[in-house]
A and B are shown apart, each in its own frame.
Chain A
Amino acid sequence: MEKTGLADKQSDRRTFLKYLLSGWFGGFCLAVLYPLIGYLKPPEQNEVEVTSVSAGKISEIEKESSKIIRFGNRPVILIRTADDKLLAYDAVCTHLDCTVQYKKEMGVIWCACHNGKYDLTGRNISGPPPRPLQPYRVIQKGEEIFISKIT
């Protein structure tokens, strides 16, 4: 009788120590993981919110040609068409993030990565792109061209 009582007491002590040690180990892991995960998360960089940028002078862009403009940290493609219209679209392909270009011969906006095509209204017409390109507003003030977000 007495013997089993002692064994019980010992196993109680053992379980208690087990829990204590596991709890401590869990806490230790948390104390290591918390700063580690925080460190691996890239810190947010303050970016200036851009609503409108200058795209240079009209004389700098020929008819039936295009130009990539920096809009904040995004590329925007500015196209001057054959009938002298100015169009601007977000230049990031909606398929897999490549930057698109204007193909004069085909009269389309073309993505070289996977042969995606958009017409000059930004609509995805061929290849893998799932969505149309987002348009930007183009304003011409005299010689100067400005591009702004459509709100």
Chain B
Amino acid sequence: MTPLRARSGLFAPVLLLAGMVTPAAAQDGLKIDFLKDRPFYEPLLAEPRPARTMLLIPAWSKEFPDSVNKGARFAWQISLGDELPILTLSNDHSGGALGSKGKWGLGLWVPLSFHVIEDFKDESNPIVDTDYRFGFMTKFQCHCFETMKLGARFVPWAHESTHLGDEYTIFAQQQNPDFERINVSHEDWEYGISLEGGELFKDGDMWKLRHGGKQPWNSGGYYSNHLLGSEEPDLTPSRKNFEPSFGVEYRFAPRRPASRQFYLSADLRHQLIYNYHQTPENPEEKQWSINVQVGTAVQEDTRGTPLKQLFFQISRGVNPYGQLRSQRDFWSAGLGFVFGL
């Protein structure tokens, strides 16, 4: 399926439902809420860059392309963010998760987040990179089957801005005369589809299957074609821009009614390895990147418990940070904590 076909096909049910929401229908049987969150299509726990607040500490990673000291290092990662709810519509009036067959929900959120990695091995513990993301997100979920829910997520527009740390940049310039500061910044669209259910093996367990994809709107790809401070188009634009993803998650049945659930969650995506100077002999390549989490999480629709997840995470593939996405076979691992309200 081409990205364009996938995009238009997935948007169809959202448009169809939007068409159903006439003022008369709204008065008749739809619950409409402004600025109230509802759990339609929650991010997969192992999704690498959702808008949520996460610490990975203690954590280690492979050295970065221009690290001064070589070898693996202690490097913690911080993500701060949330999916800010704007508007939700649903024919389920319970105010929580969709409760029975035939119920559906649709909404608009603003995902906003930033992601930082700090290196504790090089001098002065440099912030290596900070990435900022925000956009608009529509999410739809239908309790279409007795024990399964079908969902779709579409981000029509999101912006990502990435910033290499100043200390990392200074050290890189000192030791590498060929070092270039690339402006990785783009607008993109993204889609996702989800099938999830429960009672696969035991009362109270849950499973999820996910597929998604993203691509920049810019014809120039993921980064500028010139270096910062220059107008010369010295860089070759990215071309193999579409990045598909696949995810799977299983939550074991809780041992007590309100206790946390043990889970396994994995996200696999075919990511572009940025190549700023492509030639026929040195073309762009892609790599499958995997992120796996094993841990415990509060049950879905839990409110008032700040610590949402406690887990061990290991990831391998393309470096996820800014211009360092030119690095293949990057790895990181650590203990993670997710917080929320």
Tell me if chain B binds chain A: no
